[in-house]
Structure 1
Amino acid sequence: MTSPRSRETPRPTWNTDAVPPETRKAPTTRSMHGHDVVDDYEWLRAKDDPQVIEHLERENAYAESVTSGLGTLRSSIFGEIRSRTQETDLSVPNRLGDWWYFRRTVEGKNYASFCRVPALNTGDLRADWTPPEVPADAALDGEEVLLDCNELAEGLPFFALGSFHVTEDGRLLTYSVDDSGDERFDQYVKDLTTGSLLPDVVEGVFAGGFLTPKGSHLVYTLVDDSWRPYELRSHRLGTPVDQDLVLHHEEDVALWLGAETTADEKHLCIDVGCSEYNETRLLALADLEAAGPGRAPVSHVVIPREERVLYSAEPIELDGRPYVLLCHDHQAPNGELTAVDYDSALSGLSMDELRSTWTVVVPASSTRRLNGFHFNQTHLAASLREDGLEKAGFISLDAIRETLEGGDLPEPFEPFSGEELYTAKITAMALRSPVVGLGYISYVTPWRQYDYFPGLDELELRKQTPVLGGFRSEDYVAHREWAQAPDGTMVPLSVIHRADADLQTPHPVIQYGYGSYEASSNPGFSVSRLSLLDRGVVYVVAHVRGGGELGRDWYLQGKKLQKINTFTDFVAVTDHVATQPWADESRIAAYGGSAGGLLMGAIVNMAPEKYCGVLAAVPFVDPVTSISDPDLPLSALEWEEWGNPIEDKEVYEYMTSYAPYENVRSVAYPPIAAVTSLNDTRVLYVEPAKWVPKLREHTTGTAPILLRIEMDGGHGGGSGRYRQWEDTAWEYAFLLNCLGIDS
């Protein structure tokens, strides 16, 4: 029955003459814990089988045919995105050493060029650290193009830049390239004094390779067949790759390996961990410099993994005495910052012994989450989360010194007092830089890049991302509301709409959600979202459990054996929205991607009647199959997020109770579009490719169920900004049509 508040519901426009491709059945059986599951479509996993490729191409053709009437709408949205984007633009220059580095984008070109110009050294703090005024359409005197990604991408079906790292002396650049979308990169080193590539090329590595501060070594990570980073190596420039040193080899298939240079530039920080605990090792760079072929230097564990503590560690020198700063969750779920004597931190003490030696710098809090920190020679900057918002707080190192001498605990001070809903991020902080890069963004405010002088407590606005076409922030508003979940928990939601919208009149709604990995859906601006808002859509972000918006416990309440809270929270937000005078309950569409795609699959099984359409991007809809096979990409790493269904019957039964693919049933499903990429290594294309024909088989309705697959893309879809705008236009046109908006 239609609500008296709802207007006559506009009907979507689909090409009903289009016929979906038939998907043959080849039953296979998965047997676990005495439970047999017959899977008719597992054969679609054979990526190299020509029949699979042919089937996927038929799916693409069907999706295009069904939505053929939306071509004008797609073109309009693409044109709106392009017309609002300043295509010829550049980033705010960032100083490193004696150079200012920045990126240029040029109208008509898909990718950025990375450039630099010389910096001044006059001794005047303001003059030396004020970035040069760089014209968007002309080169500065002395400007150098370090890397033109358009040239690198020429002739490639896909292009993604992984790492881009320049040594502080400005002599060497290392960068990595993925040309297929499978997130396996080739790492290169370029001599910036000559412009030539060095013969030091490492193939098939993870994205984040970097050079040591002196530029003598390239540090990179290898991935195994399941795409898990498992081995860290060091390549001394000018030597054969087969002489590279193994700095760490990680056997535990459930842990992720990474590395970076510490803020003091004297150590490598080698980290292995998962979402629940980790183990950090510090390796002195002096020992790496002194190492010879076949003799890897020794790294030292700070807190062993057996203690099951989640932490980060950074060496720092205070008044000539070495310490290690620890941001940890030991008896402090929302994080605590402590300082430990350097020798004690690396001596293998137990947690109880370590606690007896440390000094608390930022204490634990039940309302404020401490996510991490950076420092330079005068201040420490903390990444904080409070009131559901990401913020940046600062503490002077002098105040930390006083605390170490028995003084009061310092309180972080925040440079921003923004809107109700905003995000503040630390974007750059280096040991020898007196300036901290800060970013500010909200649902209605485009990205603002600031330079912050913490010693003076002064913010300098360097740039606000331009939005063309007459955009004004005051034409849009955002506010927070709260919905009650079935267990009584209050779930926050962000509501974004045009300022001139009549909130006593029902509007179509698009509701977005994610809710996994403690990843928060932070307030952020989107040029493309304006195309929805300007068509009268109210955009809702559901901050469901499993994310990190309200601290560590908010995450823990939405993972493993409490994962269903993520889904019921999302439906509770929908129920709340449906009762608001500004919402048309018959026109609420849902949208989510990756783990948010699992959310879409779960809620459309639970409450298909509540949604007039669902868009699931790279959706993780067959989690039991994926996580039950350790040889599949990332599967073993997922056990700390979802549980291990192989060894734990309770986990298996719990996961099968919500897994979208396992719970497709005979109901009238709304229009559904699953979009994916053939070369995605994070969520394999086969999951939505199986899910779609199963949905078609069981639905009792006539709404179209579509699969759209990018044949040359990865987890983020196709490459190049124009291709990505086209993909966004397709997805938004689908959602708008579900809402009855076709122009």
Structure 2
Amino acid sequence: MKIPHLKKKSEIKTCHNISWEDDYSWIHQDDILEVLKDSKKLNPEVRKYLEEENSYTDFHLSDTKTIQKKLFDEIKGRIKLDDESLPFKDFDYEYWSKTTTKGNYSIKLRKKIGTNNIEEIWNGDEEKEKLKVEYFGVGDLEVSFNDKYLGYSLDTKGSEYYTIYIRDINTKKLVTEKIEETSGSITFSLDDQYVFYSKLDENHRPRKIYRHKLGTKVSEDQLIFEEKSEAFTVGIGLSADDKYFFINSSDHNTSEQYYFDVNEKDPKPKLIKKRQRGILYSVNSWDGKFYNHTNENAEDFKIDISNSLEKPDWKTFIAAKDEVLIGGLTFLKNWIIRSETSDALDKLFVKNITTGIEEELIFSDETVYVPGASLMQRDKNTDEIYISYSSPKTQSRVYSYNLSTKEKKLVKEQEIPSGHNPDDYIVERVDCKSHDGRLVPLTITRHKNTKMDGSAQLLLYGYGSYGSSMSPSFSTTRLSLINRDIIWVTAHIRGGMERGMKWWKEGKLLNKKNTFEDYIASAKYLIENKYTSKNQIIGMGGSAGGLLMGAVVNQAPELFLGIIMAVPFVDSLTTNLDHSLPLTVGEFDEFGNAKDKKDHFDYIYSYAPYNNIKKMDYPHMLITTSLSDNRVLFDEPAKFTAKLREYKTDNNLLLLKTEMNAGHGGKSGRDGAIEEIALDYAFALKISKKI
């Protein structure tokens, strides 16, 4: 089949007295945010190219249709389709959700406490059918405090412009005007007369908080708070003791918080502490005291306590620890639950408020696992909570746990209908030395029968941005590769917070290349230690993890058999220079500001995947994107693919797949998500010659 070619229209770009040529910049439309809302506004020539690439991908993966179907059935066969969540007990009702064999979306249910009368208050599949849309994204689903109203927000394009609806649960009729172009979050007032929401500006940034009175016109909504900085975005939430609303304004690196009493008739948010560059803080209130989770004078966070916000006198409640990330607090009447993260592993601690004694909750004798804790009910006067754990080889198990007696009872175990034996798998945690001597944790999961002589293929997953830590949790999908002797390795590289804030700082801004070096060092370690061999590794990452893939494949293509990148941030220099795009300004403290700072420009230019494509051999590559993605515009992977076709000197596969009705998270619905995974895995098996 003929290889697609995107027309070249040379443009000379200039910044900081440096010029470079961009042959494909023309595909970016000035009205791109309008295209995200209405794909009919897409340049017809660009649409034609994307459709040609889709046809080309379908042609070259036509021999994988059988394995795609098999993988789909395998993955779906590991899911208990007709499942129910554990109930959460509100004051008058118990609420929970369920999925069905046929449905793609969840159903929300409730039962009045003391009765057996179950009500269905939300059915995602029915709502989608009513709207006659292909994409159906649910942003928020909230019930009012009087249990009378259901608030929900929907994105029907994939572009994350959410419309809020409030309806009467009993009549299912809307009780107020729909609220459009919001971030999606819904917060009811305690008297259920109002909802608070954040409105998106012309650049798709939530910088205003409004209060809407139910039954009134949206045009009459009251502006409660406005953030003036284009780099900051805002959100609103309720305190743990239901006494205050907190408004949080932040970028990735700095935060500022305001509060007002839940009973204020005309809310006037009051500043807690003025923003200070590089300082993150988050205040909550409980039992007449205020708790501040902050990194001020505590790189890896601490928690301070004060009796007042008007005249604060902050004292240490949980002290900072070096390279141990201190998490937030969950409150009960007699207990405080908190988390810590170190060496890419989480721990949970419980403190008895009366005695002051704190103990770690031990869940399992496995070395690598993910613990969890959640509340069973809204009434905080209880000793009962849910605790859970999973590991890369062990499915999730949830227990009811009495904090006082320490008795636990298994209440839900993730069911794998097609069967699963954790003893068939081996999980290892190793550290590999990076280029500068820093030790990078690797979580390795393999089948016990996979040979350890270097002959196995290996999938190396990485992300490494925004301080987002990769959790070593259980995944039913990965088993489809692991069972076929492909070892799965998660590299906990810098840019995340697996080793605290320092781990993040060492992988961003002018340290960003450490993220790429860590990943390459991980690949080399796995080769040297006979987990796999050169040219047998499949790299995988999405979004900022796609930036990682693009950078490392330009730097060390010889290590890889293939690369799978989803919605990849590969034209990072162009995006960073465009301050009108939704995420750019808010990410100056993550990636830098190339437009205004020459050292940032030079650094980003030196690694940006699109700008650093070379004339050389590249491994097999599958690149997926979505037309309505507002976080990483589809034109980034489209440009990257077109330029790569021009430069690469090999005959390996280069495939671009664009979902024409999806967003940053891909297709909506359970089956849609499984189809995308099956496509990725089929590509991996094809290049591994396992089909």
Q: TM-score over 0.5 for the alignment?
A: yes
Determine if contact 2:434/2:521 at 8 Å carries over to the other structure.
yes
Which of these residues, 598, 602, 606, is aligned with residue 653 of structure 1? 602
Structure 1 counterpart of 2:242:
265
**3-state SS of the aligned residue for 1:330?**
coil
Structure 2 counterpart of 1:425:
372
**3-state SS of the aligned residue for 1:701?**
coil
Structure 1: which amino acid aligns with 2:296?
H
**3-state SS of the aligned residue for 2:504?**
helix
Which of these residues, 256, 263, 266, is aligned with residue 286 of structure 1? 263
How far did residue 316 of structure 1 move?
Answer: 2.1
- Cα 1:430–1:327 shift into 2, 3 Å: farther
**Aligned pair 1:142/2:98, yes or no?**
no
How far did residue 458 of structure 1 move?
Answer: 3.2
Which of these residues, 183, 194, 197, is aligned with residue 206 of structure 1? 183
**3-state SS of the aligned residue for 1:413?**
strand
Structure 2 counterpart of 1:41:
24
**Aligned pair 1:378/2:334, yes or no?**
yes
How far did residue 231 of structure 1 move?
Answer: 0.5
> What residue ranges of structure 2 are gaps of 5+ in the alignment?
30-34, 36-41
**Aligned pair 1:720/2:669, yes or no?**
yes
Counterparts of 1:232 and 1:397, CA distance in 2: 35
Determine if contact 1:159/1:720 at 8 Å carries over to the other structure.
yes
- Cα 1:165–1:585 shift into 2, 3 Å: same
**3-state SS of the aligned residue for 2:241?**
coil
- Cα 1:143–1:535 shift into 2, 3 Å: same
How far did residue 367 of structure 1 move?
Answer: 4.0
Structure 1: which amino acid aligns with 2:279?
V
Which of these residues, 610, 613, 616, is aligned with residue 559 of structure 2? 610
**3-state SS of the aligned residue for 2:548?**
helix
- Cα 1:725–1:308 shift into 2, 3 Å: closer
Q: How does 1:316-715 map to 2 (within 5 A)?
A: 316-317=286-287, 322-342=288-308, 345-347=309-311, 357-399=313-355, 411-428=358-375, 432-433=379-380, 434=382, 435-504=384-453, 506-715=455-664
**3-state SS of the aligned residue for 2:263?**
helix
Structure 1 counterpart of 2:51:
57
* 608-617 or 95-104: bigger deviation: 95-104
Q: Deviations over 1:102-124 (max 9, x none)?
A: 1111112211111111223xxxx
Structure 1 counterpart of 2:38:
none
- Cα 1:619–1:307 shift into 2, 3 Å: closer
How far did residue 30 of structure 1 move?
Answer: 2.3
**3-state SS of the aligned residue for 1:198?**
coil
Which of these residues, 78, 81, 104, is aligned with residue 84 of structure 1? 78
**Aligned pair 1:160/2:142, yes or no?**
no
TM-score normalised per structure 1: 0.88
* 437-446 or 147-156: bigger deviation: 437-446
How far did residue 397 of structure 1 move?
Answer: 2.4
How far did residue 308 of structure 1 move?
Answer: 4.4
Counterparts of 2:151 and 2:581, CA distance in 1: 30
**3-state SS of the aligned residue for 1:693?**
helix
Determine if contact 2:91/2:378 at 8 Å carries over to the other structure.
no
Counterparts of 2:281 and 2:385, CA distance in 1: 23
Determine if contact 1:226/1:630 at 8 Å carries over to the other structure.
no
Determine if contact 1:264/1:431 at 8 Å carries over to the other structure.
no
- Cα 1:307–1:40 shift into 2, 3 Å: closer
* 480-489 or 598-607: bigger deviation: 480-489
- Cα 1:326–1:418 shift into 2, 3 Å: farther
Structure 2 counterpart of 1:6:
none
Q: Deviations over 1:239-277 (max 9, x none)?
A: 222221111111111112111111111111100112222
How far did residue 20 of structure 1 move?
Answer: 1.5
Counterparts of 1:453 and 1:165, CA distance in 2: 28
Q: Deviations over 1:464-497 (max 9, x none)?
A: 1111212111111211111111111111111101
Structure 1: which amino acid aligns with 2:44?
P
Counterparts of 2:353 and 2:145, CA distance in 1: 24
Counterparts of 1:215 and 1:499, CA distance in 2: 56
Determine if contact 1:395/1:412 at 8 Å carries over to the other structure.
yes
**3-state SS of the aligned residue for 1:365?**
coil
Structure 2 counterpart of 1:188:
165
How far did residue 383 of structure 1 move?
Answer: 2.5
Structure 2: which amino acid aligns with 1:275?
H
Structure 2: which amino acid aligns with 1:346?
E
Determine if contact 2:97/2:109 at 8 Å carries over to the other structure.
yes
Structure 1 counterpart of 2:203:
226
- Cα 1:728–1:567 shift into 2, 3 Å: same
Structure 1 counterpart of 2:223:
246
**3-state SS of the aligned residue for 1:82?**
helix
Counterparts of 2:407 and 2:316, CA distance in 1: 28
Deviating 4+ runs (over 3 angstroms)? 426-431
- Cα 1:100–1:538 shift into 2, 3 Å: same
Structure 2: which amino acid aligns with 1:330?
E
How far did residue 100 of structure 1 move?
Answer: 1.5
Q: Deviations over 1:358-386 (max 9, x none)?
A: 22111111142112112122211113213
* 662-671 or 505-514: bigger deviation: 505-514
**Aligned pair 1:216/2:232, yes or no?**
no
TM-score normalised per structure 2: 0.95
Q: Deviations over 1:280-326 (max 9, x none)?
A: 11111111xx22xxxxx211111210364211101222xxxx32111
- Number of residue pairs matched? 676
**Aligned pair 1:305/2:271, yes or no?**
no
* 560-569 or 99-108: bigger deviation: 99-108
Structure 2 counterpart of 1:106:
100
Structure 2 counterpart of 1:351:
none
Structure 1: which amino acid aligns with 2:90?
L
Counterparts of 2:167 and 2:395, CA distance in 1: 34
Structure 2: which amino acid aligns with 1:106?
T
Structure 2 counterpart of 1:11:
none
